[in-house]
Chain A
């Protein structure tokens, strides 16, 4: 009531409350948007049905780790079937489906619900919005590209009788796991963000993301079988699954099997790294451009 009395000089007092607290500014809105988007990626704060798919997909991506740890727990010999260098082979399809599920949720929802003007009317700038969303998606993807491997690393160490010896033998794997996991997460986040931000319709972007991530790998496989040569080399660099595999193998200093598409291409693995960086940069730029140009 006292607020109401203080509101002076108004023709008609609508009774709006004034905000007298601390204004937290651009930085705080950025951090809240990041945190809110990350929670939204897993359906936290939404109804139960929105949580089912992300959680199921993350569990699916952890399945190889759980299987390996189960084997390690039961079998007496030190049997490492799933190596960190080839973990991506097991989770790539799962990762793509997670991207297709989450990217439209993060990048199209505000366009569909027409909530973007509310964000842009605040201290938050358009690029801040894009960065916060991209960071949230990349962080969410780490739950697939990094977390299972960290669990596997720790679990493998604990399963053996000699923890210190294990750590001594395999310590180099830890930075490799982290670096490759982060690169793959950012790479896939930028690709799916570039697609997911183009249309407000969830179904369209989901389908487009699957086409770009999964169907291109079918193309690579057929090209590898029928054409080969320079065509295959170019295709391999452009197909997200193949390029990502190449970078991971390069980071782990591992070879590729001859019968895989990457092996058939005969490409030097390090070339995949600049290819991945270029695609990441272009797709990130497309995402920024979309939100800069969008009329809200």
Chain B
């Protein structure tokens, strides 16, 4: 890792407008939790927090979306602005550049999603008499791990194509959200499904509440494989990148 790249990328990613926008996104689940507390006489809090708050909103929409924004921006803006030339002509090994960019994107994604989870889940569970601590821990671990996998995939994608954001959107909102529902076999090829399975495994969530198709151990292995594979490809692709090649 390279301190200077980390520092510059962090300053780039936490630009005022972007941070404000993501803070608004983070406010959505918190708002949901408050609304739920105000109107939850006959709903099971544990079930709602697991299935709606975590599976649908946080893991299902917010995490991939935020990871997509940071993952493609970390290196992608350098290509778009033409500053990649200055970065790549420095005597820094390509793997260090990838690692630095990835760490910042991951930290940013994990930070925002963690804040959203840690604030919203207790609000929704509060007063319901349910002990959801293991479930919440499970999801938080899963979110942090999945954030790394998503960021790695999107970072690699941003080296490969200038349209990484759009390809990523198709993956998140068509592949993971629609196609896996129509063809359930595709759940073996979806980071979202892995994170739910991982949360289910670590958080010891009963099968009545969520019943993932992939087992927890398999999901963990697949997440590691995807992360390592994406980082490897990113380093390889960045090594072969040539000026003027941003397709």
Contact = CB atoms under 8 A, between A and B. Distances in A.
Interface of A: 47, 49, 52-53, 56-57, 60, 93-94, 96-97, 100-101, 202-204, 206-208, 210-211, 214-215, 218-219, 221-223, 225-228
A47 B162 CA distance: 12
Interface string B19-45: 001000100100010011001100100
A221 B76 CA distance: 33
Interface stretch (B1-9, B170-178, B232-240): B170-178
A223 B163 contact: no
B61 interface: yes
A210 B65 contact: yes
B122 to A, nearest CB: 17
B78 interface: no
Contacts of B169: 97, 100, 206, 210
Nearest to B124: A226
Given A93-B173, A93-B177, A97-B170, A223 B28 contact: no
Given A49-B161, A222-B52, 13 more contacts: A49-B162, A49-B163, A53-B170, A93-B173, A93-B174, A97-B173, A100-B169, A203-B72, A204-B17, A206-B169, A210-B65, A210-B173, A215-B65
A218 B56 contact: yes
22 contacts: A56-B170, A93-B174, A93-B177, A97-B166, A97-B170, A97-B173, A100-B166, A101-B163, A203-B72, A203-B77, A203-B80, A203-B165, A204-B17, A206-B165, A207-B21, A214-B173, A215-B65, A218-B56, A222-B32, A222-B52, A227-B39, A228-B39
B247 interface: yes
A227 B28 CA distance: 14
Given A203-B76, A203-B77, A207-B69, A219 B165 contact: no
Contacts of B73: 203
Contacts of A96: 173
B107 interface: no
B57 interface: yes
Contacts of A53: 163, 166-167, 170
The interface centre, meaning the residue of B43, B56, B165, B177 with most chain A CB atoms within 10 A of its CB, is B165
A211 B56 contact: no
Contacts of A207: 21, 69, 165
B188 interface: no
Contacts of B76: 203
Contact of B247 (A47, A57, A219, A222): A47
Contacts of A228: 39
Contacts of B21: 207-208, 211
B166 A215 contact: no
B52 A215 contact: no
Contacts of A227: 35, 39
B114 to A, nearest CB: 19
Contacts of A94: 174
Contact of A218 (B40, B61, B72): B61
Contacts of B247: 47, 49
Contact of A223 (B35, B48, B177): B35
B84 to A, nearest CB: 15
By DSSP majority rule, is chain B's interface helix, strand, loop, or mixed? helix
Contact of A221 (B56, B69, B178): B56
Contacts of B167: 53
Contacts of A47: 247
Contacts of B56: 218, 221-222
A223 B31 CA distance: 10
The 10 closest A-B pairs by CB, nearest first: A49-B247, A226-B36, A101-B166, A218-B61, A53-B166, A222-B32, A227-B39, A93-B173, A227-B35, A97-B169
Contact of B35 (A204, A206, A208, A226): A226
Contacts of B80: 202-203
B43 A226 contact: yes
Nearest to A201: B80
B166 A222 contact: no
Contact of B25 (A57, A93, A97, A215): A215
Nearest to B31: A219
B20 to A, nearest CB: 12
Contacts of B39: 226-228
A105 to B, nearest CB: 10
B28 A219 contact: yes
A222 B124 CA distance: 13
Nearest to A56: B170
A225 B52 contact: yes
B24 to A, nearest CB: 9
A208 B173 CA distance: 15
Interface in B56-82: 56-57, 60-61, 65, 69, 72-73, 76-77, 80
Interface string B83-95: 0000000000000
A244 B247 CA distance: 35
Contacts of B173: 93, 96-97, 210, 214
